[in-house]
Structure 1
Amino acid sequence: MRTALLRVRFSFRAFDSRFPLFMEPPYGGQKMRATWFAFLLLLLAAEALAQSKPCTLDQWISVAETSSPSLIAADARVEAAGHDAEGAGNWPAPVVGYGWFVRPVETRLGPQEHKLSLTQALPVFGRSGLRSRTAAAAAEATRARRQATSEAIRYRLTLLWNELWLLEQSRQIAAEDLQLVGALHASALSQYRAGRGSQAAVVRIELELERSRDALRRQEDERAPLLARINAELGRGSFEDLSGGDRLSASGHAPPLDSLRVQLSGNAGLAAARGQSTVAQSRSELASRERWPSLSIGGDYIFIGEAIQPGLKDSGQDAILLRAALQLPWPTAGASDQAARQKALQVAARADESALALQLAAELESVHFDYREASRRLELLDISLIPSADLALSVTRSSFAAGESSVGDLIEIRRTRLNLARELVSVSAERANSIARLELLVSAPFHPVEED
């Protein structure tokens, strides 16, 4: 904002130097200068307000990426898994010890008084590399779950975006219907006053008029709870204003089903399941290697005092002891149970991966069918049903004005036209939601080919 104000100030001075007749007496004076400056400030305020209020679906998603609690938690898990992977292959920390002889052990060269020791365990038999690969696979699975969380939020925001569009379209349909019923009421009332209509016809249309008003009020009242749900998904306050839903998220054609079947392997949830299966396999192998021997090396530095016998060669010479230890695993039930447990978890992870792959394949078939069905219904409504209903409504209105049709016929065809209009926008939203679901299944937003 400060940069923008400086830019405006410089532009203002340039404008002042080029067009002095608007700034200096006797042409404009200080009052004209203040008017221009206030106008520019209003423009800047309007621009800042427009930038602070997300108005496109991409802006909604951008806000959610930075403020959604679910994504913040997922990012923290990814960071933690990355730190685990960095130190998983490190050697165990060395053990430093100190010993003090309560009663010095007398030797030929002198008494042993105290000692320092250092012990280092060696991760033999590939344990270090296996731990590192296990942690890396776990980090990769965590990143895949984070991607799945992000795509799920994008999908839910897309549904809310289309729902907001549907609500606005329904409100416009209700307003147009109210205007139509008002015109029908005026026509029926004029016929009644002219003696060509009945009071019952006027009363029936007045009843429809009240229903239309109630439908419009309901559509307007539904906006507030919908905005609260959208703000909750964005990680914002429930009463913060936003705009959007001016068009559907997608209106073109989705890719063919065969192409989507190939892309299904890139699903983020399936990638996370594969990663978890890899982690389970590595942990099972690591648990089996824990039953193998372990090696450690070390040394002791022993402090020796002066010998009792004076003049003895090497009297008080400190001693150094080198050690090597091989830990032999004892065949206990605990080690075997741990290996068996990890093996069972590996089998479970593979089964979960297979089950998810089958579920996604079946869902892909179902969602693509919903998309094709919505496209078929949309074409039927747009090309055949709604034009026929418009024609029937026009003919019935003319017949009613001429006294050839009853008010019941007019109300029935008007309701039919209203229901078809509502169905048109509803099916359009369903079709866009199906495209969004297909994008979620393949974890790759595609760009539908726009219709001719």
Structure 2
Amino acid sequence: MKPIRWRFLFMVAAVFCSVATWLLSAGKNAAAAEKNESAMTERVRIHDLVVYAYENNPAIQQARAQWKSVVENYRVITGYPDPQVLVTYFPEPIETRLGPQDWTATLMQVIPFPGRLSKAGSIVQADAQIARLNLDKTIRDVIVSIYESYFELLYVQEAVQVAEKNLELLRHLRKVAESAYALEKTAFIDVVRAQSQQGQLQYDILLLEELAETEKARLNGILSRPPDAPFGRFAERPVQPIDFTLDALYRLAEANREEIRIAEAGVERAGLQVELAGYEYLPEFRIGVFYSSIGDPEVPVAPPDAGRDAVGVQAGFSVPLWFGKNSGRTAQAQAGLVQARANRTARVNETFTGIRAAFFRLQNAGRLMELYSVQLLPQAAKAMEVAESWFQEGQGSFSDFVETQAVWYNFNLSLARARSDYGKSLARLEGLVGQSLSTEGGVAPERLGKETP
């Protein structure tokens, strides 16, 4: 009984350890998920969004599963075909010298020509490389989409602040206009203008808030969260200048962009396909064993070896006789190689065109930021001060004061939009180039989104 008792206790301990390990792992996963979710409702940083999407985005999960599926296909393609077993039973046995032949069994194995399976395996390896690059491309596209939504929400966040600040100022101006009108220091049209400006600002704030909700729903879709899941305040992100020429960007893209690397892997795969097509002219081999069951003969005088079963060895090979079919397969593979090379050239041209357009938008946004922050906004603020001073001294009209205030407001919105466009253009340009271009450290892994093996 003692051995049975110890065996039972050992089984209970093993089950307990397994359950404890599972519960601990589940607790850690739940804690990590709760931590990631809490980061979304506090001060939202771009890094938190990228990590959350990397773990939850369904497009990334699909691409990752596809890559693993292709990797597992290597063992399928490089393995020998399954052996074939053929059994024949004779209801009316065939009489032979040694006795009636009751049944036969054949075991047959097909062996491809040496080198054919390894060449097919090389094609699968090329497919796995393409699937891996497609995973990197999917992660990159998701990250670029996150950056676009993030900078758009930063714009809305800043625009709402500017509009609310301007609305507070305009309410004060409206009271000033009403007081001045009561003292017959300004015209009634000035009061109406202040009121209409206030109404326009209230509409702008409402529009910006609805735009924010729409963009948050898009970002939640990328993160695989409910459309109305809340976000905290988005952390400000400084402008990140780059120091690359167009030629340098072209070289980086040709070496790093996933679409170009996928096309290059496609050229390599097509070349391997051409080599594999050459094996269509070579035979496949078959080897096997044959067994025949012989019964006892019904004769008066049986031979000494009567009823002895027969065993044989079989060997054969296929004859690639239909040269037209084999030539067609080779021509098809050659056409695939030409197609793959043309596709690679098309991807390079497409990338260079996209880089030129994104680089222009980035530079233009940078110029606009400098124009508004260095020249136009200071001038608008100075003009607003002068218009206010002139109005108080009776040298200017209230309409001029309101007009300069509206110009200052629009310039602030334009500066916020230029910052947002710069961030989005930089993200798109980095997606086209395939690596981080900013001088700030620690950004490249987020922007690239490449998994480590």
TM-score of the superposed pair, with normalisation by structure 1: 0.83
Q: 1:291 aligns with which of 277, 281, 286?
A: 281
2:357 is equivalent to residue 369 of structure 1: no
| SS of equivalent residue, structure 2 residue 402 | helix
2:335 maps to a residue whose letter is: A
In the alignment, which residue of structure 1 is the partner of 2:322?
A: 331
1:296 maps to a residue whose letter is: R
In the alignment, which residue of structure 1 is the partner of 2:240?
A: 252
1:118 maps to a residue whose letter is: L
What count of residue pairs does the alignment treat as equivalent? 404
User: How far did 1:141 drift?
Assistant: 0.5
Q: 2:189 aligns with which of 200, 203, 215?
A: 200
2:346 is equivalent to residue 358 of structure 1: no
Measure, in 2, the Cα distance between the counterparts of 1:310 and 1:274: 77
In the alignment, which residue of structure 2 is the partner of 1:14?
A: none
Measure, in 1, the Cα distance between the counterparts of 2:62 and 2:287: 42
- The 5-angstrom pairing of residues 53-202 of structure 1 reads 53=41, 55-202=44-191
2:384 is equivalent to residue 393 of structure 1: yes
In the alignment, which residue of structure 2 is the partner of 1:263?
A: 252
Q: What 5-or-longer segments of structure 1 have no aligned partner?
A: 1-45
Measure, in 2, the Cα distance between the counterparts of 1:432 and 1:174: 22
Residue by residue over 1:210-238, the C-alpha shift from the partner in whole angstroms, topping out at 9 and shown as x without a partner, is 11222122222322222111111111111
Q: CA, structure 1 residues 244+154, in 2 after alignment: closer, same or farther (shift >3 Å)?
A: farther
In the alignment, which residue of structure 2 is the partner of 1:432?
A: 423
1:321 maps to a residue whose letter is: G
Q: CA, structure 1 residues 60+48, in 2 after alignment: closer, same or farther (shift >3 Å)?
A: closer
User: How far did 1:148 drift?
Assistant: 0.3
In the alignment, which residue of structure 2 is the partner of 1:17?
A: none
| SS of equivalent residue, structure 1 residue 165 | helix
Q: What 5-or-longer segments of structure 2 have no aligned partner?
A: 1-33, 442-453
User: How far did 1:338 drift?
Assistant: 3.6
In the alignment, which residue of structure 1 is the partner of 2:18?
A: none
User: How far did 1:101 drift?
Assistant: 2.9
| SS of equivalent residue, structure 1 residue 88 | helix
Q: 2:204 aligns with which of 208, 215, 231?
A: 215
| SS of equivalent residue, structure 2 residue 101 | strand
Measure, in 2, the Cα distance between the counterparts of 1:59 and 1:48: 7
Q: Check whether the contact 1:253–1:449 (CA below 8 A) recurs between aligned residues.
A: no
Q: 1:315 aligns with which of 306, 309, 313?
A: 306
In the alignment, which residue of structure 1 is the partner of 2:10?
A: none
| SS of equivalent residue, structure 1 residue 101 | strand
Measure, in 1, the Cα distance between the counterparts of 2:132 and 2:35: 37
User: How far did 1:334 drift?
Assistant: 4.4
| SS of equivalent residue, structure 1 residue 314 | coil
| SS of equivalent residue, structure 2 residue 108 | strand
Measure, in 2, the Cα distance between the counterparts of 1:187 and 1:402: 14
| CA RMSD of superposed structures (Å) | 2.3
| SS of equivalent residue, structure 1 residue 253 | coil
1:349 maps to a residue whose letter is: A
Moved more, 61-70 or 161-170: 61-70
In the alignment, which residue of structure 2 is the partner of 1:6?
A: none
Q: Check whether the contact 2:186–2:397 (CA below 8 A) recurs between aligned residues.
A: no
Q: CA, structure 1 residues 335+270, in 2 after alignment: closer, same or farther (shift >3 Å)?
A: same
Q: Check whether the contact 1:187–1:401 (CA below 8 A) recurs between aligned residues.
A: no
User: How far did 1:311 drift?
Assistant: 5.1
Measure, in 2, the Cα distance between the counterparts of 1:437 and 1:227: 20
In the alignment, which residue of structure 2 is the partner of 1:10?
A: none
1:300 maps to a residue whose letter is: F
Q: CA, structure 1 residues 407+52, in 2 after alignment: closer, same or farther (shift >3 Å)?
A: closer
What is the aligned-residue identity percentage?
A: 24
Measure, in 2, the Cα distance between the counterparts of 1:293 and 1:147: 40
Q: Check whether the contact 2:105–2:291 (CA below 8 A) recurs between aligned residues.
A: yes
Q: Check whether the contact 2:112–2:283 (CA below 8 A) recurs between aligned residues.
A: no
Q: CA, structure 1 residues 110+309, in 2 after alignment: closer, same or farther (shift >3 Å)?
A: farther
User: How far did 1:49 drift?
Assistant: 7.4
Moved more, 376-385 or 146-155: 376-385
In the alignment, which residue of structure 2 is the partner of 1:239?
A: 228
Measure, in 1, the Cα distance between the counterparts of 2:318 and 2:36: 69
Measure, in 2, the Cα distance between the counterparts of 1:49 and 1:329: 62
User: How far did 1:365 drift?
Assistant: 2.6
Measure, in 1, the Cα distance between the counterparts of 2:354 and 2:301: 93
| SS of equivalent residue, structure 2 residue 78 | coil
Q: Check whether the contact 2:39–2:48 (CA below 8 A) recurs between aligned residues.
A: no
1:106 maps to a residue whose letter is: E
Q: CA, structure 1 residues 51+217, in 2 after alignment: closer, same or farther (shift >3 Å)?
A: closer
